Amino acid sequence: MSRNDQMSGGQNSLSKRRTGFPRVIHHDTPLTKSSVGGPLLSLDGECVGMNIARASRVATFAIPAKELREIIGRMIK
């Protein structure tokens, strides 16, 4: 196992790859596994998205809040 894999939580801890996200925010906030699914906040404290995946120690992806509102709206109908 490479040092990068070790620092990222190891190869065995990776979840299955998902596709089909219309838009994602790529940011460099380091997150723990338990932080995935939590909010992505702006410097002003505004929720701008939800963290959905961690690709390495500092490569994180989030679904924008606007997309989440649309998805939730479709689910409620």
Domain made up of 3-76: CATH architecture: Beta Barrel (2.40)
Q: How far apart are CA 47 and CA 16, in angstroms?
A: 26
Q: Can you give the residue ranges of every domain in the chain?
A: 3-76
pTM for this one?
A: 0.67
35, 52 contact by CB (below 8 A): no
Residue 20 has pLDDT above 80, yes or no: no
pLDDT attached to residue 5: 54
pLDDT attached to residue 45: 96
pLDDT tens digits, 24-51: 899 988 888 888 899 999 999 999 999 9
| Residue 73 banded pLDDT, cuts 50, 70, 90 | very high
